[in-house]
Chain A
Amino acid sequence: MKKAVSVMVLVAIAAIGLLCFSGAAMADEIKMVGVITKIEIAGKDANTATATLKDNKTESLIVITVNDDLTLDKFKDHRIVEGDEIRCKYEVIDGKNVSKLFRKTAGC
């Protein structure tokens, strides 16, 4: 009986630990630099958009969800357009790659 309780406690601790760890991992920021291949935004009043970036290192296509007003505004007036190279930080939240930083690499 005592042994069974100990095993159950250990399993519970391990499960909690695993949950905590995976939660933290999901919230980790991922950094990438890539070129925009597609921007999807629903009109001038949109408060979210997606941008597909081709990762410079892996060449894989990553769909980024953009919610911040500054970047959305740059999509709307085309200060950021397809073909621009972007330095991006994002977090995976509910299965979406949500942008935390989205900047053109170029300047003058």
Chain B
Amino acid sequence: MKKTSVIAAMFCLAVAATTAMAASEHPGKESIEKSGYKGPETCEECHPGTAKAFLDTVHWKHASKVTNVDGLDPKKEYGMKNRVYVMCNGNDIVNNLKEIPKSPVTGKSKFTGCNTCHPGNHLSDVGSTGPEAEAAIDCLVCHSSDYDFRQRKAFKNEKGQVVMGQDRSTKAALSINKPTVKNCMTCHEAAGGGVIVKRGFSFTKDTDAHAAKGMVCADCHKAKHHKIPTGLDPNNWANDGVLISCADTSCHGTKPHKDADLNRHCAKIACQTCHIPRTGGAFAKDFTVWEQTPDKFYEPTTLKKEANETIPVYAWYNGTVKNTAHFIGPKGSRKDGKSKITPFKIFQGKAYYNKQTGELLSMDFAPPMSDGDTRAGVLSAAKTLGLKNPEKIAKEAVPGWQTIYFGSNHLVTKSKALFCSNCHAPNGVLGFKDLGYSDKEIVKLTSPELYMEKVAKKQKEEW
């Protein structure tokens, strides 16, 4: 009997191992080896219609209709393509990938622009459609684990057009798979002007409990037809219409803790509040003053910290967003029945405002990157957008600040999660007064009476 069990177990292991190996091996390699890789048309042999469908995703359009943000036209699309805010003051339109003017110091130029991460070839750019756009998709930059990034550089073709190169080698195509953390982070880690600037997180086993378990981005952001589920980050507007949630039944469910008291918290407290107690990245930028870098080009003045080095702020959030020229952040209240206390990464940026209308102006980075002239960047953007009297707008533009609440949804921890006393104590992290609690309620909320008996019992069990 014992021997039979051992043989059965070994058989099961062998089947599991074979299945795992087969799962990691993408079919079609023989065909690619034989015929070579010709871009999306090769992928389309097994995935017909995928290229056309991909053109309707946020990764290609950098925009979508947005229904939860104040002041937006529900019929128009918004995103990196056209937004104006102070983390990125430019966008794909005004700060399109191009060769910037030569530095007056070195005489050198370089290619730069907001859409350098767009998975096209720049000739077919953000939001383009049709057969040419379908053929321009860089499938392998997201799906190959052996992509040669020396190929993905901007250059000028024989017509003088700026083209983004791609690695379309058979070698890269033979390493296709579900996107790894590396594939995603190639673009997402350096957004906003450098590594860990915009979102403020790294996804490694040292910084995130999900990464420590060997999970990859696509395990939570589980795409269907290249539509990527995302959360309701107040500053991440464009979306593919699919929401991600920790409470999904395939993940943690609505009662994730063994302790009923902790589960009761889930009704009013977002998971992130306890399980993401730190944030990081840029906390302030000044687009009106650019600093000269050692290569004699200029960059916006940026203050930043590493992942897990800054503390979030907490606010009630019901998934809708206040959006003004000086503030982008969560809406919600204790009493609306929908809001939860949620942590946010606070960012403040200084940029130019239109003196006449008070609107935040955008900037083409090419002029200031070359010689530090930020008003020239405002002028160029105003011209590109067809604003009336662009010279007057740029000359009179007024510097001002905008505060942005970024969602804090990564850097997940179990072992360093907030404990009872982190919140339920005088000077606790949540700031009950600002969250709308009365003095009488705060006295109760900040007393160990709430947890004394339970924690004492647990402490006795542990020691």
B324 within 8 A of A: no
| Contact status A105-B293, CB under 8 Å | yes
Contact partner, A79, options B114, B117, B186, B192, Cβ 8 Å: B186
Contacts of B116 in A (CB 8 A): 108
Chain A 93-108 interface 0/1 with B at a Cβ cutoff of 8 Å (1 = within): 0000000000111111
Contacts of A56 in B (CB 8 A): 294
User: Is A78 an interface position by the 8 A CB rule?
Assistant: yes
Q: A77-B148, A77-B149, A78-B149 are in contact. Are A104 and B190 (CB under 8 A)?
A: yes
Q: What's the nearest-Cβ distance from chain B to residue A95, in Å? A: 27
User: Chain B's nearest CB lies how many Å from the CB of A16?
Assistant: 34
- B213 interface residue, CB < 8 Å from A? no
B294 touches A106 (CB 8 A): no
Which of the segments B27-35, B193-201, B215-223, B455-463 contacts the partner chain? B193-201
Distance of B206 from chain A, by nearest CB (Å): 10
Q: Please tell me if the beta carbons of A77 and B195 are within 8 angstroms of each other in the complex.
A: no
Check if A107 sits within 8 Å of B190, measured CB to CB: yes
Please report whether the interface of chain B is mostly helix, strand, loop or mixed according to DSSP: loop
Shortest beta-carbon distance from A71 to chain B in Å: 11
Q: How far is the CB of B191 from chain A (nearest CB, A)?
A: 6
Tell me which residues from 341 to 379 in chain B have a Cβ below 8 Å from any Cβ of chain A. Answer: none
A73 contacts B by Cβ under 8 Å = yes
B190 to chain A: closest CB distance in Å?
4
Chain B CB within 8 A of A91 CB? no
* Residue pair B147, A77 in contact (C-beta under 8 Å): yes
Bound-complex Cα distance A103 to B150 (A):
17
A78 to B167, CA, bound (A): 12
Cross-interface CB contact of A33 among B112, B149, B196, B294, cutoff 8 Å:
B294
Which chain A positions have C-beta within 8 A of B182?
A: 73, 77
Q: How large is the interface on B (under 10, 10 to 19, 20 to 34, 35 or more residues)?
A: 20 to 34
Bound CA–CA A77/B114 (angstroms): 23
Give B101-129 as 1s and 0s: 1 = Cβ < 8 Å from A's Cβ atoms.
00000000000111011000000000000
Q: How far is the CA of A56 from the CA of B293 in the complex (A)?
A: 9
CA distance A47 to B189 in the complex (A): 23
Kindly provide the distance from the CB of A108 to the nearest chain B CB, expressed in whole angstroms: 5
How far is A77 from B147 in the complex, measured between Cα atoms in Å? 6
Option from A79, A81, A85 in Cβ contact (under 8 Å) with B293: A85
User: Which A residues are in CB contact (< 8 Å) with B295?
Assistant: 35, 85
In the complex the two chains form, is A106's CB within 8 Å of B150's CB? no
Whose C-beta in chain A lies nearest to the C-beta of B117?
A108
Query: Separation in Å of the A6 CB from the closest CB of chain B?
Result: 46
**Set of chain B residues within 8 Å of A108, measured between Cβ atoms:** 112-114, 116-117, 187, 190-191, 193
A105–B295 CA distance with the chains assembled, in angstroms: 12
Q: Determine whether A4 belongs to the interface, using a CB cutoff of 8 Å to chain B.
A: no
Measured CB to CB, the closest approach of chain B to A32, in angstroms, equals: 11
The proximity string for B residues 272-300 relative to A, scoring 1 for CB distances below 8 Å and 0 otherwise, is 00000000000000000000011100000
A33 to B192, CA, bound (A): 19
Q: How many A residues touch B, CB cutoff 8 Å? A: 16
Query: Taking the nearest CB of chain A, how far is it from the CB of B349, in angstroms?
Result: 15
Considering only residues 138-153 of chain B, those with a C-beta below 8 Å from chain A are: 146-150
Q: Quick check: A79 and B193 within 8 Å, CB to CB?
A: no
**CB-CB contacts below 8 Å: A51-108 with B:** 56, 70, 73, 77-79, 81, 85, 103-108
Chain A residues within 8 Å of B148, by CB: 77-78
For residue B294, which residues in chain A have a CB less than 8 angstroms away from its CB? 33, 35, 56, 85
Report A30-47 CB contacts with B as 1/0, cut-off 8 Å: 000101000000000000
Q: Are A107 and B150 in contact (CB under 8 A)?
A: no
CA distance A56 to B147 in the complex (A): 30
Instruction: Specify which of A33, A79, A103, A108 lies most central, judged by the most chain B CB atoms within 10 Å of its CB.
Output: A108
Interface residues of A in 1-41 (CB under 8 A from B): 33, 35
A106: nearest residue on chain B (CB-CB)?
Answer: B194
User: Which chain A residue shows the least CB distance to B116?
Assistant: A108
Does B82 make an interface contact (CB < 8 A)? Answer: no
The verdict on B320 contacting chain A, using a C-beta distance below 8 Å, is: no
Distance to closest chain B CB from A53 (angstroms): 12
Contact yes or no, B114 A107, CB < 8 A: no
Kindly state whether residue B204 has any CB partner on chain A within 8 Å: yes
- Which A-B residue pairs are the 10 nearest by beta carbons? A107-B194, A107-B190, A56-B294, A78-B150, A107-B193, A103-B195, A79-B149, A78-B149, A108-B116, A77-B149
7 extra A-B contacts, CB within 8 A, seeds A104-B194, A108-B191, A108-B193:
A77-B148, A79-B149, A85-B294, A103-B196, A104-B190, A104-B195, A106-B194
9 contacts between A and B (CB under 8 A): A35-B295, A77-B147, A77-B148, A85-B295, A106-B190, A107-B197, A108-B112, A108-B187, A108-B190
